[in-house]
Amino acid sequence: MSLARLLLRELIKGPRTLPAPPPGGGGAEVGAGLAGTGRARLGRSLRIREVDAGSCNGCELEIHAATGPVYDLGRFGIEFVASPRHADILLVTGPVSRNMAQALKRTYDAMPHPKWVVALGDCAIDGGCFAGGDAVLGGVRALLPVDLTIPGCPPPPEALLSGLLTLLDLVSGGPAAPLLPMDGEEPE
């Protein structure tokens, strides 16, 4: 099938994006430090720098899924960026291997203020099943202040979505208004 026909079919079909999950779902927990962070005017847009600090790569798979057309993180104004200097959020996965600790700290230091840290997945929260090993710090908290934790092994994409929406609400002071209609059709 030609590209033009495939594209046309997609256009006619409409988006395959699932409706947005409610903020606060998926067991996300907000750190104590966050309430006081003077609500920055981010214009409802968040830029994320992701760092794998020794994950098993399962969490990365689900982050990818969250950025894809089905969960479409981008519709909320949330995008991943390459440079930490452009980022508002540091999204960390993995139990923080000692071999990655310095790179993680440097990435954090390179980010401008205000900035927030999200620990994604059981590993990033407390080391998960790698806790207690000599080669890991056992969670992001051992190195950086954590503002939001999203549990799961790995957390499914909508847990990431609702966690980030919670954060977006808190830092910009208002409920998230998605750009696309909330009743996107289910993918077949």
- The closest alpha carbon to 117, from 88, 160, 75, belongs to 88
Min dist CB 39 to another protein, Å, is 28
Name the binder of 122 from another protein, ligand SF4, none, CB < 5-8 A by kind: ligand SF4
101 binds another protein, rule: CB under 8 A: yes
139 binds ligand SF4, rule: CB under 6 A: no
Distance of alpha carbon 157 from alpha carbon 21, whole angstroms: 10
Distance of alpha carbon 7 from alpha carbon 25, whole angstroms: 34
Name the binder of 158 from another protein, ligand SF4, none, CB < 5-8 A by kind: none
List 93's β-bridge partners, or say none. Answer: 52, 120
- The closest alpha carbon to 81, from 45, 42, 41, 39, belongs to 45
Q: Within 13 Å and on the Cβ side, how many CA atoms surround 164? A: 35
What are the phi and psi torsion angles at 182 (to 5°)?
Answer: -75, -15
Our CB check for another protein shows the closer of 164 and 170 to be 164
99 binds another protein, rule: CB under 8 A: yes
Give the residue carrying structure tokens 């949330």. Answer: 78
123 binds ligand SF4, rule: CB under 6 A: yes
| DSSP conformational letter for 97 | B
Min dist CB 187 to ligand SF4, Å, is 23
Residues that bind ligand SF4 (CB under 6 A): 55-56, 58-59, 93-94, 121-123, 128, 153-154
Residues in touch with another protein (CB under 8 A): 1-3, 6-7, 16, 50-65, 67-70, 80, 82, 84, 94-95, 97-103, 107, 129-130, 132-136, 153-154, 156, 187-188
